[in-house]
Copies of this chain bind each other. A is one copy, B any other.
């Protein structure tokens, strides 16, 4: 099965200058504003994106030192399979965050509720559409008993080296 080669389409600028201290999901990142510089060659792809209040970003976890198949994630002390977590040390180090889109100035996107480390290479932008993305009757496994820790937990740097 062939490898897939990806080229970043932009760069994400945020107040989070290193993994340590970064909010671990967008709902824990109230007040954290950033910008995305979309590279010139991709600007035509932004047409009509300004009608959407939220966008899902796919980005490169560029500071991940490599994959681990089992990890103790930020909100737990137990070890889980990396695919049962959102930890960055994934076999394919792609991050997924849905952020608020506050406005667009040509190739600059103004975003809010940002949990992404400054300088992360952007791979894709998708419009967030509840009719596509929302699910009911959800079970969340080990996270169900831990998710209350979201607002008080920050990245402690454990996956950056």
Contact = CB atoms under 8 A, between A and B. Distances in A.
A42 B54 contact: no
A53 B83 contact: no
A4 B62 CA distance: 9
A142 to B, nearest CB: 5
Given A49-B81, A140-B52, A26 B124 contact: no
B92 A9 contact: yes
Interface in A124-158: 124-135, 137-144, 147, 150
Contacts of A83: 42, 45-46, 49, 55, 124-127
Contact of A51 (B9, B11, B141): B141
Interface of A: 1-9, 11, 25-27, 42, 44-56, 58, 60, 69-70, 79-86, 90-94, 96, 98, 121, 123-135, 137-144, 147, 150
Q: Which 4 A-B pairs have the closest CB atoms?
A: A51-B141, A47-B81, A53-B139, A83-B125
